[in-house]
Amino acid sequence: METKKVDTHGLQNIVGDENIREATEDDAIDGIRPSLVVEPGSAEETSEVLKFARSEGLAVSPRGGGTKMGWGNPPRAADIVLSLSRMNEVIEHVPGDQVVRVRAGAKLSYVQQTLFRENQMIALDPPYPDATVGGVIASNDSGPRRYKYNTVRDLIIGTTVVLADGTIAKSGGKVVKNVAGYDFGKLFAGSLGTLGVIVEANFRLHPLPESARTVAVEVGSYEAAQGAAHAVVHSQVEPTAVELHWDGDKKLVSVLLESIPEGVEAKEELAHVLLKPFGEVRTLNDDEYDDLGPVPRPSGGNGEVAVKLSAPPAELASTMEIVLGAAERRGVKARLRGHAATAIVFAGLSGGEGSIAEVVEEAREIMVRRGGSVVVREAPESFKTKVDAWGPAGDHLALSRALKDKFDAAGTLNPGRFIGGI
Amino acid sequence: MSDDKPNVPNGSGNTGQPDDIFETVRQANVDEVGEEGTKTAVEPPKSPTKEGKTSFPAFDAHHPPDKDLINDCVHCGFCLPTCPTYVLFGEEMDSPRGRIYLMNKGLTEEPMNEQMTRHFDLCLGCMACVTSCPSGVQYDKLIEATRSQVERRYERSPEDKAFREMIFQLFPYPNRLRAAAAPMRFYKKFDIGGKLRKSGIMGRMPKRIQAMEALLPDLPKEEKIPEITPPKGEKRYRVGILTGCVQRVFFSKVNAATARVLAAEGCEVVAPKQGCCGALSTHAGREDESMSFAKQTIDTFENLDLDYVIINSAGCGSTMKEYGHILRDEPEYAERAKRFSEKVRDVSEFLQEVGTVAERHPLPTTVAYHDACHLAHAQGIRAQPRKTLTDIPGMEVMEIKEPEVCCGSAGIFNMVEPDTAGQLGERKAKNVAATGAKMIVTSNPGCTLQIQGSLKKMGYGEMPARHPMEVVDASIRGESVESLFE
Amino acid sequence: MERSNLIRTMEGILGEPGVIHEREQLRTYECDGLMNYRVIPDLVVLPETAEQVQSIVKVCYEEGIPFVARGSGTGLSGGALPVESGLLIVMSRMRRIIEVDLENLRMVVEPGVINLWVTNEVAPEGYYYAPDPASQSVSSIGGNLAENSGGVHCLKYGFTTNHVMGAEIVLADGTMVNVGGGKAPDAPGYELLGAFVGSEGTLGIATKITLRLMRKPESVRTLLAAFEDTEEAGGAVSGIIGAGIIPAAIEMMDRLTLEAVEKTVKPGFPDANAVLIVELDGPEDEVASQFDKVEKICEDSKASEIRIAESDDQRALFWKGRKAAFGAMGSVANDYYVQDAVVPRTELGAVLKKIDNLSEEYGLRVANVFHAGDGNLHPLVLYDNDVEGEAKRAEDLAGAIVFACLDHGGSLTGEHGIGEDKKKYMPKMFTDEDMDTMQLLRCAFDPHHLCNPGKIFPTPRLCGERPGPFKMHPLQKAGLVEQF
């Protein structure tokens, strides 16, 4: 694929010479190497860059921490990487309102540190420490705490985005309760930079839990894992996270309990009682907890293909069966990590590329039929050409195409990376 | 249908356990359409008679629905889920909010035509909306005024007029009613109704006649009560008692039981020669008739030196408490009516108010208590009848699901709108049967007739319906539980 | 299409009982919960299945007839206000509960199902549906979806959009799409469901909705605290939030509201200038400990009286007093205008003072009841329609209050929506670019601008060319529209 040669002159006038550089191998997206990396410092500069790119017919890939550039399908073209790293401030934090406003290029970990000082947090714990806020939104990434606090779409209360034609538009605001106008915060969540570039986001905050404990049960079977998760979910324990660990000898369901000190003990007791029927239960000490999580989950690299399977909660066991069974039958090694209570399973598959592809296709066919999905997260380039990252689009593909058409008619942003070839 | 659904708190006006609605409606539609799930709502029945003449604007200046009362309505819609016709038909026009809207338009902008009249006619007057309204809209006054206007200004078709006239020539006159009912003994004895049904003739008669036929109870021998019943023991109060019309003819034993209970509680019970209290006429908007009956009743009772006037029929009690309003235009009666109404008490209300002295003997059984609309919604009396029953040792009172929803009797409604009343009756009967109680207890003869009829239609004919006073009477006299089932 | 022809066509789809065309009957549908705007619909149709909805919409699409969907008609922003020469599609007969799936904590319902029915259906098993707007006994799920309804439990549990997992939608051209997945989380693709919820019926009509259920909390404790004024009460609220406690609900009522409520519902609240109702729920030990803290904070904030609900009935009474607040206004004034605005919680004190000043300036009383935890205010402007000019003054005052809220960093609406009522204020909160971008979304869903047109945006735009012979859009005819 030919990357267009870009005339840097126009861009220099927008962002300044020092904020443009030539792209290197490291900047490649699924094997496609862009010409330039451009780093605007404001929404206005971002707008000008995009206008420029559009007028020149160039393809732009927005980037935060670069942790998820491998997600989605390989792009049809990538000429400019638009990096948000200079736009990294915390604009405003009002602890009394439990609201924070940040620039999208700020690292989530950095924002959290700022909030911790006031005993607050954005209730998101995705695994990549270098991920930026904008990237987390665009990829709709999440972590174990989603069980209690839900995901990006439920925590974002306002956004400012820049569209491919340079329009700067905001929606929402800085109040938690707000139904004025359409909710772009939600629309842009998971849109992988194909509708616009997120430059600012406002979040509602939660108080930092005062005290935490993790109780884990060793489960011998898929059913035990599902049963343990189910028991805890349908009880009065109200855990913060329920995680599945299934990797070689390690077969656990761990339950994170957070509350005020008086509440945590009661939760721990109840959790022990609920989990006992499913295996040996113990409360983890700090070392064991660090060893366990919150990461790592399979994230690709070294030929491993990272896949995310999503199913209704009552189908955790069968989901595990589907992917592990398919893997075994084809001599593919699989390790699992998942959000047991919401039946989202991350599988790391290693082995022959062709076999892995078959495993993914088979699992996908079954899961989609049941109303779930299988999405390829990270994989070597060669794999990406064999298997579609997303799977079938469903009956809303026409509507999605219409949406893309309205927001980015010229196809400037991340063309080809999204579902249905969008 | 599970029996352990949560109880709907009193006065919340929340009705509708969804599977019940759909069960009833689906069943009604299956019966009607013969196919499962063809529809999810019931069509409002077309007027059973041909169109009458219209007038414009709908209302004239003589007691139209009061604009101030109409303005109390803020259009919030809280009344919708409690209204039986909205629950059945799902249309705005057949909801209290919609009807008030029509009334408002009818004051100056819209004519009184068939559509408008239809929606007013379909209102049961159950006043569940009054209970659920957060703004305190007095819908009861509005619908009564509206009905009067309809009766005066809408020219009903000849068949409709004739049928209604027949009802009002009969029901408010106990002697005529008795005379008309007398042949019923033979009708029932020789099961003429059964023969008519088997031969298919019954099915071909007008729906309204069929409905009346189905409602008819077994006519018992009349149990007269003396003009004065002395109190047992020390005299605490001197009270009058309304013997009623339907009550007197078909349920005279309820009057007898009421008199006995009051006497046992130390009351000197006065039962003068008396006529109709005018409830049916009032609720149907027949203004002149209603006022005439009211005056007559006041004349009958007011000079008897009574502490209270006791009523054992919800519909009657509700109207008699309104006499002040009904006769507000009559200078000779207005004040007297107000003072008279202040003495009116429902019998359960009375017993709880003054306290009981007579010993209650155990009656170990379960009963389901049905809230008559004119007792619960119109008079706000819910706790007293229940307490009157639970004061009896061994008596367990079961709550019926959807207690706020009318049984379909609603005065003459079940005679003039048999389809709608039938659906509501079935729904109530199902809920009653689901309690598992041995008998149903309610304080209104109309409800008794309706629910008994519906229970029979659905195959629960063995379940007797009793008045709270019959139960209390049995308890005071130390009768056995079985006696209540005879 | 000629009207009688349209009636015949609709009767063909729905049968006679499904079509209302007589004038007096149409008039009962001319407004929803907001009486200030009335438009008589051309026709009212009541479908009973999703297929019927599709057929109706297809006819509208082919004939260029605008349409508006309506649930129970209890909205407070005129979202279900009919459109001139348009169809009103009433969803009240689509009210089946289709599936209850406790294992997966979900329920599938038709849009006409009443909010409270959802909880009632699963309450015996110990589950419930969290969004509880004050209208929950009558508002429909479809309507809740359109407005992203809130309720008193928003601060802790979120709004409708956080409890909807999927929806089947009929788009303006009659095609049906399924958005949101509905069974498994994180369906790949755009967050179309998230865009749809709260879109006030302008993007399509939902015909089937998957709701998220939750386990009923183990313990619920409610207290009521009386204060000398709203400022003190506000101090208590700050204290509670500052202590890291997120109450399930935290509501405030001022003197005028308390008066009205005492007249109608008679909950027997203390005689005070401000009353706070705080509710905590969750596991028992956690709640017990936090509740003590809350009590202490109220005491420290100089509460003149604290009442703790000792039973379910008592708690129900506290809430009855709060939830009946709007309706009760009828007892202290002839008319009232309920406003809905949001400010950051830290600005509440300042804004309430401003409202006081404005009330004096305009010479009209304002009763305040609000969700103290998330800053969502409901000032009730009291007036008498029969006094000349008062209605306009009331509207102006209500507008001034909203602007004051915007000045303090708030929003035009917290839960009632923009609808018809507030579209004129949109430019105060959003720039032209902001609104144009939002309309891109609308154009993607409804390029012919037939679905609840004229709502939300002050200047509607038509999106691009329409195929076929040129037919002037009714809004174009009325001169209300520009070409995009």
* Most B CBs within 10 Å, among C22, C23, C28, C53, to test the B interface: C28
Q: Is C327's CB within 8 Å of B74's CB?
A: yes
Which of B40, B56, B132 is best to mutate for the C interface (most C CBs within 10 A)?
A: B40
Judged by CB atoms closer than 8 Å, whether chains meet at C371 and A265 is answered as no
A402 touches chain C (CB under 8 A): yes
pLDDT at position B23, please?
Answer: 42
State the average pLDDT over residues C289-301: 94
Least confident of A21-30, B175-184, B209-218: B209-218
CB < 8 Å to A149, chain C: none
Taking alpha carbons only, the member of C184, C176, C178, C148 closest to residue C163 is C148
Tell me the shortest Cα–Cα distance from B429 to chain C, in angstroms: 21
Tell if the CB–CB gap between A262 and C185 is shorter than 8 Å.
no
Sign of CA dihedral B121, B407, B80, B9: positive
User: Taking a C-beta distance cutoff of 8 angstroms, is the pair C133, C115 a contact?
Assistant: yes
Long-range pairs of C431-437 with CB within 8 A, sequence gap ≥ 24: C431/A169, C431/A170, C433/A167, C433/A168, C433/A169, C434/A169, C434/A170, C434/A171, C434/A181, C435/A181, C436/A167, C436/A169, C436/C461, C437/A161, C437/A163, C437/A167, C437/A169, C437/A171, C437/A184
Strands (E), C358-470: 366-371, 376-383, 461-462
> Distance between CA atoms of A406 and A182, rounded to whole angstroms?
15
| Cβ-contact B253, B213 below 8 angstroms | no
pLDDT value for C478? 57
Q: Chain C: nearest CA to B134, how far in angstroms?
A: 5
Looking at C268-421, which runs of residues are DSSP E strands? 274-282, 305-308, 335-338, 341-342, 366-371, 376-383
Best to test chain B binding among C11, C25, C90, C119 (most B CBs inside 10 Å): C25
Q: Across the interface, do C73 and B77 touch by the CB < 8 Å criterion?
A: yes
Chains B and C touch (3+ CB pairs under 8 A): yes
Closest CA in chain C for residue B92: C28
Higher pLDDT, A297 or C209: C209
Residue pairs between chains A and C whose CB atoms are closer than 8 Å:
268
| Mean pLDDT taken over chain A | 91
- Report d(CA B232, CA B259) in Å as an integer: 11
Mean pLDDT of C32-59: 95
Residue from the list A153, A394, A407 with its beta carbon closest to the beta carbon of C191? A153
Nearest CA in chain C to B18: C117
C204 compared with A250, residue with greater pLDDT: C204
The pLDDT confidence band at residue B462, using thresholds 50, 70 and 90, is confident
- Across the interface, which of A168, A207, A234 has its CB nearest the CB of C215? A234
Name the residue facing C33 among B17, B76, B132 (closest C-beta).
B76
Q: Does C113 touch chain B (CB under 8 A)?
A: yes
For residue C42, pLDDT beyond 90: yes
Tell me what pLDDT residue B159 has. 86
Residues in A closer than 8 angstroms to C459, CB to CB, are none
Which tokens is C140 given? 């429909």
pLDDT higher than 80, residue A295: no
Q: Do B14 and C116 touch (CB under 8 A)?
A: yes
Query: Which runs of E-coded beta strand occur in A194-321?
Result: 197-204, 206-207, 211-218, 241-247, 250-259, 280-283, 305-310
Give the pLDDT of residue C464: 60
Q: Poorest-confidence range of B183-197, B318-332, C346-360? A: B183-197
CB C202 within 8 A of CB C442: yes
Identify the closest residue of chain B to C264 by CA–CA distance: B136
Confidence of residue B2 (pLDDT cuts 50, 70, 90): very low
Give mean pLDDT, residues A389-395: 91
CA distance A136 to chain C (A): 14
Q: For C374-429, how does the pLDDT look when each residue is reduced to its tens digit (9 = 90+)?
A: 899 999 999 988 888 898 999 999 999 999 999 999 999 999 999 999 999 999 99
Average pLDDT value for residue range C249-271? 89
Partner residue facing B72 (CB), from C25, C28, C330: C330
Residue B454 tokens, joined: 């519906």
pLDDT band at B190 (very low <50, low <70, confident <90, very high): confident
CB proximity A189 to C under 8 Å? yes
- Residue C255 above 60 pLDDT? yes
Q: Which two tokens stand for residue C365?
A: 């009383």
Going along A241-382, which residue ranges are E strands? 241-247, 250-259, 280-283, 305-310, 333-339, 344-350, 373-378
Q: How far is B469 from chain C (nearest CA, A)?
A: 30
pLDDT of B29 strictly over 60: no
Closest-CA residue of C relative to B38 is C48
* Contact check, Cβ <8 Å, C114/B81: yes
Q: What is the 3-state secondary structure (H, E, C) of C15-26?
A: CHHHEECCHHHH
Among all residues of chain C, which has the CA nearest to that of B134?
C327
Contact C313 B9 (CB under 8 A): yes
Residue A209 binned pLDDT confidence (cut-offs 50, 70, 90): very high
* Residue B10 predicted with pLDDT over 50: no
Probe site for chain C from A154, A182, A186, A265 (most C CB atoms < 10 A): A182
Cβ contact C–A (≥3 pairs, < 8 Å)? yes
Q: Does B16 contact C31 at a Cβ distance shorter than 8 Å? A: no
Residues 12-41 of C with CB under 8 A from B: 17, 20, 22-25, 27-29, 31-35
Provide mean pLDDT across the span C201-215: 96
The pTM score is 0.90
pLDDT digits (tens, 9 = 90+) for A172-185: 999 998 999 999 99
CA distance to A111, C54, C80, per residue, from C47 (Å): 50, 10, 16
Residues of chain A with pLDDT > 90, as a percent, come to 81
Average pLDDT over residues C251-263: 90
Whether residues C124 and B2 touch (CB distance < 8 A) is answered with yes
Compare CB distances from A260 to C286, C426, C435 and report the shortest one's residue.
C286
pLDDT of residue B7: 35
Q: Which of C22, C313, C326 is closest, CB to CB, to B76?
A: C326
Hey, which residues 170-209 in chain C have their CB within 8 Å of chain A?
Answer: 171, 175-179, 181-192, 194-195, 197-199
How many residues are recorded in chain C?
484
| Partner A contacted by C154 (CB < 8 A) | yes
Tell whether A392 is within 8 A of chain C (Cβ).
no
Q: Name chain B contacts of C114, Cβ cutoff 8 Å.
A: 16, 81
Domains and CATH numbers, chain A: 9-85 (3.30.43.10), 90-207 (3.30.465.10), 211-290 (3.30.70.920), 305-396 (3.30.70.600)
- Cβ of B101 and C28 within 8 Å? yes
| Residues B133, B74: Cα–Cα separation, whole Å | 10
Q: For residue B30, what pLDDT band results from cuts at 50, 70 and 90? A: very low
Among A43, A76, A45, A42, smallest CA distance to A59 is for A76
Q: Is some CB atom of chain B closer than 8 A to the CB atom of C53?
A: no
